Structure 1
Amino acid sequence: MNAEQAQQRLGQIEAFRLELKQLQAENVLTLAPEQRQQVDEHHRQLLQHFSTTLNIDADERSRQLSLGMRAASFFGALALAASLFFLFHQFWGMFSETVQVAILLGTTLSTFALTVWLHGHDRSGYYTKLAALLCFVAFVLNLSLAGQIFNITPSDKALIPWGMLAFLLAYQCNLRLLLAAGLICVGGYIAARVGAFGGGYWLSVGDRPENFFPSAIVLFCLPLVLNHARFPGFAALYRVFALLFIFFPVLVLSFWGEGSYLALDGKTVESLYQYLGFVIAGLGVWLGIRRGWREVSTTSTVFGVLFLYTKLFDWWWEALPKYLFFLAIGVIAVLLLVLMQRLRKYAVKATQVTP
């Protein structure tokens, strides 16, 4: 059991104690003294084990401090990565080619070794996250600078080792931030390859937003065949990035039909993707509720609302008086509220039916 699973177990224990106290106050359930003592002793031993072996937040104050520590470690890692980037570019030309290669190898190996060492000694995980992000940024910089040293043509194939290191650090240290970096690398590489197969240059992958659709399919299917029981939140992150690789291209193409592969005029393509955006958002909400994937339904809802309001602005801002435009926005917001209430009732019924 890792720290995140232990933290979830602690939340379950607190909820159980509160509910048991409420049931006793309502004379619904009363445990015998020996049963209550046995339960309390089990919880006490469990919490003592968590506190000695894992870094968990035992109360609300600790949770608030942990949130601040996570933010500090994230911004600290970004600051150190930026410092490393500017340090390289500030003094890079002062070194010979041999020294440059030695610095690149030494930086990569030392930051990786530091990450591995911290993973074995840092119970909190904050310093491990900081070192892992620094290691990844150093590796990205090192490959880029090595390509400049040896005059290697930039290629999308660099995304492969970047992604491999990100996945290695993510799964070894249970870091979702590095998993997100790896998913971006994988999605970018697949999109670049699709664009290259279509006859385009890999750096022009954004000229055809539909290049990202295969990336979305791959990332959505991977957690269906990979077991992420030991990595809480990893499967959800796969699905979120898969949805983003669908939603953002659809949003772009609903305004810019000329970027599509479809042999249709721009206006027709824009209309097609307008309808497709609403359909995909609705299917995402339905699928998320149906399968219990909260991240899917939430991401789809956010996109659906964002997509709706951007299209309303595109359709009505110049055609309607401003008071009518905002009145229409308010009415639609109320209708969305009613719709979401009905979806919420459906989700509750689905939860009650599911064993």
Structure 2
Amino acid sequence: MNSPSHQTQDHGSKSQAQARADQIRAFRAESDLLAQAGLLSLTEENRQHINTYHQQVLDDLRRHQDVDLSEGARHLSLGMQIVSFLGASALATSLFFLFYQYWGYFSTTQQVVLLTLAPLLSFGLALATRRFDTSGYYAKLIGLISFAALVLQINMLGSIFNMAPSPNAFALFAIYGFLLAYLLQVRLLLAAAMASTFAFIGAHLGTWMGGYWIYFGEKPEHFFLPALLLFAVPLVFTQHRYHGFASIYQILSSIAFFIAVLILANWGGASYLPWERKPIEGFYQVIGFGFAALLILYGLRAGRPYLMLTGNVFFALFLFTKFFDWWWDWLPKYLFFLLIGLTAILAMMVFNRLRKLQQGGHLS
């Protein structure tokens, strides 16, 4: 048998490359178990060819995608992610205080130049670092600093020239955040860009409804439109090459949507609807239960457990708030919590039934 040839392959995103490496590790472990049980018999030559091929693939993945080839390496990678976030936060804070410490020593022109160069230089440095940093941690750290530099730039330029606050600043934050997130594959920057998008759309909706944009958060309905739009992004534009982006889009959008509904379900006076408070609260309670159930079913059908978990959490929150409204004042406390416990057991039975149906293929 000829020695297997290996050509460098495009394994897509780092998550896809990591999944490929995990497949090889799982294959090796399962092959060893089958061989010990006498269910798999390979000649030494075949085993050597397979091991050689797999090692070439793993070396290629480690060289181009810096994947983790052991559980210890995976844990260290998680630690590096946490440390890089803390480092970026500390450096961004240092940049902020550095500007304010020596700000008075610069002329207006120098201040504008410094504020303009800070995000541009850090952006260029992040791209340059990305070319030789296979792990991506250093480039991501610099990207976070660059985003903080832009936020600092917009705020301080507004202060220098005494400009009125504008919601359009959130559009700049969102655009730059999305740009950095996709270039450097930073989920935290994607979340920041989404938050800026929520603020931008919500502020303009508040203005169109006759309010001052700064108070857009007083009307939770402002967040419905951006939540639905951002939830649909991974449905329209594939995110396979960007690890975790689809889940970030849909989880954060769902959380924003359900928090807004939960607020309106308990404080109907914050709604635009021209009804009495109680009918508004009842309407949004129905919306909350209905959309939470739909999210659970959608997550089940689409094979997205994070959506099922999100739907479960908010369905439970809506249910608990209704239990509290109905029975807290007149039921004995032990009976109240007993009822909640029994309801949880019933929910477990329902979800277990759905899980078995899903495994049997009836809900696919």
1:348 has 2:359 as partner:
yes
1:310 CA drift (Å): 3.7
Code of the residue aligned with 2:244 in structure 1: it is G
Corresponding residue for residue 171 of structure 2: 160
Note the C-alpha offset of 1:272.
1.5
User: In the alignment, residue 72 of structure 1 is paired with which amino acid?
Assistant: V
Given the alignment, which residue of 200, 203, 209 partners 1:192?
203
- Mapping of 1:328-339 within 5 angstroms? 328-339=339-350
Cα distance change on mapping 1:203 and 1:349 into 2, 3 Å: farther
Q: Which residue is equivalent to 1:176? A: 187
Partner of 2:215: 204
Aligned length: 353
From 248, 271, 275, the counterpart of 2:282:
271
Is 1:216 the counterpart of 2:220? The answer is: no
The one of 142, 167, 177 equivalent to 1:131 is: 142
CA apart distance, 1:94 = 4.3
Measured after TM superposition, the shift of residue 165 of structure 1 is: 0.9
The Cα shift of 1:309 comes to 2.7
- Structure 1, unmatched stretches of 5+, are none
Give the equivalent residue in structure 2 for 1:18.
Answer: 29
CA contact (8 A) 2:174 2:196 kept: yes
What is the CA–CA distance in structure 1 between the aligned matches of 2:246 and 2:294, rounded to whole Å? 19
Tell me how far 1:124 sits from its aligned partner: 1.4
In structure 2, what is the Cα distance between the partners aligned to 1:257 and 1:31?
69
Q: Cα 1:244–1:142, aligned 2, differ >3 Å: closer, same or farther?
A: same
Deviations 1:257-285 (A, max 9, x none): 01111111111111221122111111000
Counterpart CA distance in 1 for 2:274 and 2:199 is 25
Q: Alpha-carbon deviations, 1:74-123, whole Å to 9, x = none?
A: 11111222222233334434433222112201212221122112111211
Distance 2:41 2:321 in 1: 56
Q: Provide the rounded CA distance (Å) in 1 between the counterparts of 2:42 and 2:195.
A: 52
What's the CA shift for 1:189? 1.4
Pair 1:272–1:153, CA change in 2 (3 A):
same
Identical aligned residues as a percent = 44
Contact 2:299–2:308 (Cα < 8 Å) also in 1: yes
| One of 111, 126, 145 as aligned partner of 1:115 | 126
Q: 1:250 — aligned with what?
A: 261
- Which has the larger displacement, 293-302 or 88-97? 88-97
Is 1:299 equivalent to 2:283 in the alignment? no
Retained in 2: the 8 A contact 1:215–1:245?
no
C-alpha RMSD over aligned residues: 2.0
The 1:89/1:256 distance shift into structure 2, 3 A limit, reads farther
Alpha-carbon distance change, 75 to 154 in structure 1, aligned in 2, over 3 angstroms: same
**1:212 Cα shift?**
0.9
TM-score normalised over the length of structure 1: 0.92
Give the drift of 1:51: 2.4
Moved more, 92-101 or 240-249: 92-101
Match of 1:57 among 45, 68, 75: 68
Matches within 5 A, 1:75-90: 75-90=86-101
Check 1:90–1:339 CA distance in 2 against 1; reply closer, same or farther (3 A cut): farther
Post-superposition CA distance 1:293-346 (Å, at most 9, x none): 222222111222233234433443333222222222222222222122122223
1:232 CA displacement: 2.7
Q: Give the whole-Å Cα distance in 1 for the aligned partners of 2:322 and 2:95.
A: 42
Query: Contact (CA 8 Å) 2:301, 2:363: kept in 1 or not?
Result: no
Range with greater deviation from structure 2 (264-273 or 85-94): 85-94
Query: Corresponding residue for 2:81?
Result: 70
Residue 312 of structure 1: aligned partner: 323
- Between the aligned partners of 1:268 and 1:184, the Cα distance in structure 2 is 30
In structure 1, distance between residues paired with 2:100 and 2:280 = 44
Q: TM-score, normalised by structure 2?
A: 0.90
Q: Distance in 2 between matches of 1:311 and 1:24?
A: 57
Distance 1:73 1:53 in 2: 21
- Taking a change above 3 Å as real, the CA distance of residues 271 and 90 of structure 1, as seen in their structure-2 partners, is farther
CA contact (8 A) 1:257 1:270 kept: yes
Could you tell me which of 85, 89, 109 is aligned with 1:98? Answer: 109
From the superposition, tell whether residues 52 and 221 of structure 1 become closer, same or farther in structure 2 (CA, over 3 Å): closer
Write the distance in 1 (CA, Å) between the matches of 2:275 and 2:198: 27
CA positional deviation for 1:29: 4.3
Q: 1:77 to 1:314 in 2, by over 3 A?
A: farther
Residue 22 of structure 1 deviates from its aligned partner by 3.3
Deviations 1:113-152 (A, max 9, x none): 2211211121111111211111101101110110111121
- CA 1:330–1:209 in structure 2 vs 1: closer, same or farther (change >3 Å)? same
**Matching residue's letter, 2:275:** L
Q: Is the 8 A contact 2:251 2:307 kept in 1?
A: yes
